[in-house]
Amino acid sequence: MMKLSVFLLMLLMETCSASTYQENLAIQGKATQSSLYWTADADKAIDGSRVPTWVGGSCSHTANDLEPWWRLALPKTHKVFSVKITNRNEVPGRLNGSEIRIGDSLVNNGADNPRFAVITSIPAGETVDFQVPNGMDGRYVYISILGRKEYLSLCEVEVYGYPPTEENLALQGKATQSSLYGAADANKAIDGSRAPVWADGSCSHTANELDPWWRLALPKTHKVFSVKITNRNEVPDRLNGAEIRIGDSLVNNGADNPRFAVITSIPAGETAEFEVADGMDGRYVYIGIPERHEWLTLCEVEVFGSALD
Ligand SMILES: *[C@@H]1O[C@H](CO)[C@@H](O)[C@H](O)[C@H]1NC(C)=O
């Protein structure tokens, strides 16, 4: 019974985290293209309809241009991991050999951005999902047919990704730790100051104990991509071998959450960034020094990620 409920909970969490990225970002954007054929403007490819027949009136269409292109501008840069393209029903071969590029550049109409995928071919009227598992950052999604005169017609372009990661989420949270040394409470590690010198009063500090830990609670679960840690200036070795764990569990003070990174060492007074490209979902960021008696002191912990909604 116990095992079943844990299993169901995990299944529920899986379902929730998967569904939060199923929003088609393209709908929020604006599209443009190299030229216009009839009334089939660029926004027809982001009208929310996959209808693949020309008479359905839901496909974009350029003139017969040399290397025709279509471009979507999202409201802001996202980490894009999937682009789904629905091809025309009547003339599917026109899209053969086109490419998708994603980035923040408008140079060359967007053609200078890094390549996301090559469209070898898409069967008539079908939708194909092109994916880059770690994602690519960009505001612009550029699609172009290379090396020939062609009509570029797209019946739907859907874009899936995460919002950008620039805000230090830790500042919204509350911290706690296994014990207290002096006045160096856990929240000193999220006070917005990287000052690494003990005398500046901006570092957290536990007592000397077995398995000391520090934990941040964010207001809600986020997909965390990056954790930056600033080490003490005077005693940098204390942090050697500490681990960062992220998840939604408070079991064992958070030590049972999946491991995000191991801190081999951070030079005195410096800030190191630990990253997981696909991100890890969690409300709690746990930092612990396993299996030794130690003081745990942290001068700043910064957390970057995206909300799950
Ligand atoms: C496009 O690619 C498909 C699949 O390889 C092929 O059957 C078709 O002949 C190609 N069409 C053109 C116009 O190149």
Question: Maximum CA pair distance of the chain?
Answer: 75
Kindly list the domain boundaries of the chain, sorted by start residue. 20-162, 169-307
Query: Which residues are near ligand 1 (CB < 6 Å)?
Result: 93, 96, 121
pLDDT of residue 21: 62
Whether pLDDT at 202 is above 90: yes
pLDDT of residue 309: 65
Average pLDDT over residues 132-149: 93
Using most ligand atoms within 8 A of CB, pick from 94, 121, 151, 152 the residue to mutate for ligand 1.
Answer: 121
Closest atom of ligand 1 to 94 CA is 13
Average pLDDT over residues 179-190: 97
Whole-structure pTM value:
0.60
232 vs 106: CA distance, rounded Å: 43
Least confident residue range of 21-30, 138-147, 170-179: 21-30
- Nearest CA, atom 6, ligand 1: 93
Average pLDDT over residues 166-186: 95
Average pLDDT over residues 200-205: 96
**Residue ranges in 162-294 assigned as alpha helix (H):** none
Enter the CATH code of domain 20-162: 2.60.120.260
Whether pLDDT at 5 is above 50: no
87 Cα: distance to centroid of ligand 1 (angstroms):
13
| CATH architecture, domain 169-307 | Sandwich (2.60)
Closest atom of ligand 1 to 95 CA is 1
Average pLDDT over residues 288-309: 93
Q: What is the signed CA dihedral for 202, 207, 213, 216, rounded to 10 degrees?
A: -30
Give the residue among 224, 286, 281, 282 at the shortest CA–CA distance from 254: 286
Q: Who has greater pLDDT, 133 or 254?
A: 254
